[in-house]
Amino acid sequence: MLLSDLVTPDRIACAVNAQSKKRALEQISEIISKSEDTISSNDVFESLLARERLGGTGVGYGVAIPHGRLKSSDHTVGAFIKLQNGVDYDAADRQPVDLLFALLVPENSTEEHLEILATLAKLFSDESFRTQLRDADNIDKIHQLLLEWEASQ
Per-residue pLDDT tens digits of the chain, which is 153 residues long: 678 889 999 999 999 999 999 999 999 999 999 999 889 999 999 999 999 999 999 999 999 999 999 988 888 999 999 999 999 999 989 999 999 999 999 988 878 888 999 999 999 999 999 999 999 999 999 999 999 999 998
Q: Where are the domains of the chain?
A: 3-152
- The set of catalytic residues is 67
Residue 5: closest CA among 136, 103, 114: 103
Indicate the burial class of 30 (C-beta count within 10 angstroms; 0-12, 13-18, 19 or more): middle
Three-state DSSP state, 74? coil
Domain 3-152 annotated CATH 3.40.930.10? yes
Three-state DSSP state, 48? helix
